[in-house]
Amino acid sequence: MFVAHLSIFVLCLGTVLNENSGCGCSLNRDSTLDPKANYLLSTANSKCHRPEQEQNDKTMVLVPSGVYQVGTDDIVIETDQEGPRTLVKISSFYIDKYEVSNRDFSNFIKSTNYETEAERFGDSFVFTIFLNNTYKEMLKDFRVAQATWWYKVKGANWKHPHGSDSDLEDLMDHPVIHVSWNDAQAYCKWRDGRLPTEAEWEAACRGGLRDIKYPWGDKLFPNHTHKANIWQGTFPNYNSAKDGFIGTNPVNLFSQNDFGIHNMAGNVWEWTEDGWSKDKVAHTCATNLTATDTGVLLDLTIQLIVQPVT
């Protein structure tokens, strides 16, 4: 339904303030991680607060309560399971205008001494075009079986996006990548918020519009204008970069949707609160749809949610 995002793990924070949802403070997932790394568990029982400045922050926008479309009946890739088209009642929430940047995430790390899962594992997966042929030959047996353009690279993490010999120079305003769902949860906890559900994310993505292919309408390049950073060329080996970027772009680049949110298509995948399920249940009008209600897509970025003052 939406433009395929670049295949890069990213943390995108969108702060959602929802009248009927908690901010995730009661999360208490079992974990074998060391105490220093497990920021979620160390703060699970702390008092939840939503500072007033968060709700009036100029980097956040309000998504009003209402009935929103989730999913589509115009299926392009069957295995994506983006159907069926469903109408969902959603309470109002605030969400960040921008994906979480390396600068944002760095502030979180400095404040908490959190260590990401990729840092603890010692490796992460890097997309093929960011590796030279010699390195790829060395790593050919360390690829994702059904997505062989992903290579397991030692030392790859949010600070070293393409491996230990790479850094964040000139990338501080780009979205943070190589972050897991647990990392995203920890960041949201630090921000006194939570990830959006898939339904909340799609409501924010569509900007109040229904039955459209992209957040801006039905044409991919309206008036020959690039509206998002997407793959253009022969996947996965050649990206023409006609939109200006081989990899990620700064989080404040490209035009915003009707809610004022940037990069809701393209750039990076985004994490959501709920998991993915192949089991689907048709709803005439569901309320705050979650993974237990119907099949949802697992996005790879963070969006933070908080409750508005009423």
Predicted TM-score (pTM) of this structure: 0.77
**Confidence label for 295 from pLDDT (cuts 50, 70 and 90):** very low
**Confidence label for 27 from pLDDT (cuts 50, 70 and 90):** very low
Mean pLDDT, residues 87-91? 93
DSSP assignment, residue 216?
A: T
When comparing pLDDT for 70 and 3, which is higher?
70
Of 245, 117, 251, 236, the closest CA to residue 184 belongs to 117
Domains of the chain: 10-118+172-291+302-306 (3.90.1580.10)
pLDDT in tens, 128-163: 999 999 999 999 999 999 999 999 999 999 999 999
Question: One-letter amino acid identity for 2?
Answer: F
- Count the helix, strand and coil residues of the chain and give each as a percent rounded to the nearest 5: 20, 20, 65
Quick one: pLDDT at residue 9? Answer: 38
When comparing pLDDT for 103 and 82, which is higher?
103
Quick one: pLDDT at residue 26? Answer: 34
**Confidence label for 288 from pLDDT (cuts 50, 70 and 90):** low
Q: Give the C-alpha separation, 247 to 268, whole Å.
A: 9
Is the Cβ–Cβ distance between 21 and 194 less than 8 Å?
yes
| Average pLDDT of the residues of the chain | 79
Is the Cβ–Cβ distance between 138 and 107 less than 8 Å?
no
**Confidence label for 233 from pLDDT (cuts 50, 70 and 90):** very high
Q: Is 292 exposed, middle or buried (0-12, 13-18, 19+ CB in 10 A)?
A: exposed
